[in-house]
Structure 1
């Protein structure tokens, strides 16, 4: 049976992949410009960009807006545990992720209104958290909290921003329920730029809502994790049953 002939896109990606594996191109090294590479391989810039997008989807190349394409650093897979921040069988789920946090005030609009169950224009605090493994962005989270929510000792960096967006500081009253929805989708242009991934590479989109004993939503977190860098781990435990005597 005749083997299919690889496309120019696949051939270029294979060549650059081989150079990276042979350490001819080192982690963090800037690749030649897309125009230079297209000329070197004798293809159009669109074909060259398609080849680079394939490498970006594999985590081998990272694109930084306005700076160019760089050889990616070795990336570890991290585990997001539903409703928590550590794997149930281990306190260590991978290398440490460091986060940067930007806090802003805004008014609830659009999908935030039903998500947080608040009237339109309700004052919210938004925590925008970008997690990094070394110098490479790993994941991002947008966390929303009603501004009038009483918090106990809210830290400068909320725990939600420490690892995959776990819960914020202590609440009054404390949370009693966490609801999570996991979907896979393509990243937005902003997300692809922030996470340095190709626009055709799937991300895990986790929407988590935390509810207190009064039924009020006290936190909504929107988490975006590149699918080649993270696993989502969920556990369901059956409710205990009472032993019944047979008559």
Structure 2
């Protein structure tokens, strides 16, 4: 049935790329498609999974399978995570923010260099392009650096990024680790992507002038939705010779 699965995927892909089935349109039910192609439901779902991995189709729980709208690409600028919101589609991103008081454990204990159970504040940020999830971030700060006013949802990621810039004192050291990996089940569900779609994962660590860690951020962008740009400035010291 492997060849049949690919035949179905090829036919649906052709209909999507030629516009017969338009972006945002709901596909017929899996039962109807299985009857249309005279295959079993598992074979039909296997064909749809091929298109999910390619980013052409997304399955929304309780609603069905939809042709995915092409999402714009954002630019992540290294160093406290600036976001350039110019997207290929020209669509603005909006972000929702959820703040939670937590206790440090596991990796956060090591990154913040604090005892287990130390109080932290977590900001869970999910950006959207129209109704589609675009990227997510979990940003952590020490509890005593949490502002008294809550960081509210913003109409765009840019406004939220400015809000985070004001949360903490200036960073003297910023270290970022970038890797490509498969999403966790929670990330795949939140971003509505296939578990086989690679993501760009960035862990950002910021410390102040006395070495205290003031921010740790875990950022996740589905592959193809973001470019990461890092710029190095070389400082040249000039010595003046006095005669």
Question: Residues 116 and 34 from structure 1, CA distance in 2 versus in 1: closer, same or farther, beyond 3 angstroms?
Answer: farther
Q: Distance in 1 between matches of 2:39 and 2:18?
A: 24
Deviations 1:139-161 (A, max 9, x none): 001111111126497643489x8
Residues 72 and 225 of structure 2 are in contact (CA less than 8 Å); yes or no, is this contact kept in structure 1? yes
Q: Distance in 2 between matches of 1:240 and 1:34?
A: 64
Deviations 1:169-227 (A, max 9, x none): 43564221211000111111111111111111100111001111111111111011001
Q: Distance in 2 between matches of 1:238 and 1:93?
A: 30
Q: How many residues align?
A: 236
Question: Residues 120 and 15 from structure 1, CA distance in 2 versus in 1: closer, same or farther, beyond 3 angstroms?
Answer: same
Q: Distance in 2 between matches of 1:78 and 1:27?
A: 20
Residue number in structure 2 paired with 1:3: none
* Counterpart check, 1:119 vs 2:115: yes
Q: Once superposed, what is the RMSD of the aligned Cα atoms?
A: 2.9
Question: Residues 219 and 158 from structure 1, CA distance in 2 versus in 1: closer, same or farther, beyond 3 angstroms?
Answer: farther
* Counterpart check, 1:17 vs 2:21: no
Q: Distance in 2 between matches of 1:119 and 1:86?
A: 32
How far off is 1:29 after superposition? 1.8
How far off is 1:36 after superposition? 3.1
Q: Distance in 2 between matches of 1:67 and 1:113?
A: 40
* Counterpart check, 1:49 vs 2:58: no
* Counterpart check, 1:149 vs 2:156: no
- With normalisation by structure 1, the TM-score equals 0.83
Deviates more, 1:70-79 or 1:55-64: 55-64
- With normalisation by structure 2, the TM-score equals 0.84
Deviates more, 1:141-150 or 1:216-225: 141-150
How far off is 1:41 after superposition? 2.4
Matches within 5 A, 1:181-220: 181-220=177-216
Q: Distance in 2 between matches of 1:210 and 1:232?
A: 18
How far off is 1:111 after superposition? 1.4
Q: Distance in 2 between matches of 1:153 and 1:93?
A: 31
Of Structure 1 and Structure 2, which has the larger fraction of its residues in helix?
2
Question: Residues 81 and 172 from structure 1, CA distance in 2 versus in 1: closer, same or farther, beyond 3 angstroms?
Answer: closer
Q: Which runs of 5+ in 1 are unaligned?
A: 1-5
